[in-house]
Amino acid sequence: MSQAIDSFVKQNEERFLDELKDFIRIPSISTLPEHVEDIEEAARFVAKSMATAGLENIEIIPTGKHPLVYADWLRAPGKPTVLCYGHYDVQPPDPVELWHTPPFEPTVRNGNLYARGAVDDKGQMYMHFKALESLIAVHGTLPLNVKFIVEGEEEIGGQSIARFVAENPAKLKADVALVSDTAMYAEGIPTLCIGLRGLMYTELECQGPRQDLHSGLYGGAAPNPLFGLIELLAKAKNAAGLIQIPGFYDDVEEPALAEIASWQALPFDAATYLNDEVGSTCLTGESDRSVFERTWSRPTLEVHGIAGGFTGVGAKTVIPANATAKVSFRLVPSQDPAKILAAWEEFVSANTPNGLKMQVKKLSAAPACVVSPEHPAIRLAAEAFKEVLGRETVFTRSGGSIPIVGDFARHLGIPTILLGLGLPDDGLHSPNEKFKVDNFYLGIRTVAGFLEKYSQAGSVPE
């Protein structure tokens, strides 16, 4: 970024941090009804911050649940448009007793800002506001067009923004989206995440006898829906981690060899991963694949819970009438969630044990997203990141899913730059969530630098 921006950020670091602290002090917990006024206050705070940044056409948009906040700055005709995204809602702070300082009283210790929402996502969203403010302060204008959409339901499913994006593609139309809600691969390593796995989450419902039966009186003759689930699920994935649903791997696209090679160059200590991060004696899954492949570019089947029967203290001899398993599939490019769902339903139907009825209920479905590191916006973001941190940017994927990225791809037809300044140990959703203060400032510089660079790329043709 330009020297002038760098100086402006340096001069205003303290004020930027103080403003962020004010934002964080609002306990905008989206899942708790008693915080609905805090949610509204946070939305107003976002609107105010947008105004301070120099954005225009600010709207607080009511939804069925928590408001969206929109703003834009569109005075650079012929220049590209960047759609910035963030969320002002946070997770509950529980268990509160494990916090060293109060979760909504942001406190700096050892160069970290500790508070709920520090990194997820108030601090990271604030980098965008302050980058815009710095650009306008220094240049009197922005070098390109910006739209900004902020939601208050990210921690509870993000339904309102999903509907809004689907219904307002013209309003949000841009060349690229910029999201800062992820982490760097490791401290000091500029990282762009260019791939996310998709997710199909289902419930597998199994119906056995008409009512709960006594396992003494009926055991041996009456079908047990819990055991039926066990039989079917055991058939669905083998001991080598390969999913046995016919057609499941048909459309799986392998990453380019160059991308796999770049993962092999990432610092990775297998023993630390196994012992400290996973905390197990041995990894599972496809042993001929690296951990990066297994978690980033290979699909999975996981069981998250099985309901039905008795799980309290002690013994109850019940054959339950019903049982349900939560079963999800992580999807990779180019698996089609609808095709996978159909294959799963067919597998269930073909393998339902005698005497039981089974049904698949879809809870959510989203395809995987990937963007090429050669995409101009990604390339320029990588350059900006490298300039600020003084080290080559690495391209990673994440095994998780960020639904808004899929919504931007599907409804706006644009890729998303996942430019995160978090660190792997920031403790999102946990007690003592933190954000490294230096990363907050580096993020402001990186975002500003990217916008400057990207403004010179010219608008991507429609």
**Closer by beta carbon to a copy of itself, 76 or else 341:** 341
**Token representation of residue 28:** 């905008």
Report the nearest approach of a copy of itself to the CB of residue 241 (Å): 7
CB 206 within 8 A of CB 349: no
CB 155 within 8 A of CB 26: no
Q: List the one residue out of 360, 446, 410 whose CA is nearest residue 184.
A: 446
**Closer by beta carbon to a copy of itself, 141 or else 317:** 317
**Token representation of residue 80:** 């590209």
Report the nearest approach of a copy of itself to the CB of residue 361 (Å): 11
Report the nearest approach of a copy of itself to the CB of residue 184 (Å): 15
**Closer by beta carbon to a copy of itself, 31 or else 57:** 31
Report the nearest approach of a copy of itself to the CB of residue 124 (Å): 18
Q: What are the E-state strand segments in 110-207?
A: 112-114, 145-151, 176-179, 191-196, 198-207
User: What is the number of other CB atoms lying within 10 angstroms of the CB of residue 429?
Assistant: 13
Report the nearest approach of a copy of itself to the CB of residue 293 (Å): 8
Rounded Cα gap, residues 262 and 357, in angstroms: 47
From its phi and psi, is residue 296 left (phi > 0), alpha (psi between -120 and 50) or beta? alpha
CB 422 within 8 A of CB 193: no
**Closer by beta carbon to a copy of itself, 167 or else 249:** 249
**Closer by beta carbon to a copy of itself, 25 or else 330:** 330
Rounded Cα gap, residues 172 and 461, in angstroms: 16
**Closer by beta carbon to a copy of itself, 73 or else 201:** 201
Report the nearest approach of a copy of itself to the CB of residue 434 (Å): 18
Rounded Cα gap, residues 161 and 152, in angstroms: 9
Sorted by sequence, the CB contacts under 8 Å of residue 460 that are 6+ apart come out as 80, 175, 176, 376
Report the nearest approach of a copy of itself to the CB of residue 303 (Å): 5
**Closer by beta carbon to a copy of itself, 92 or else 209:** 209
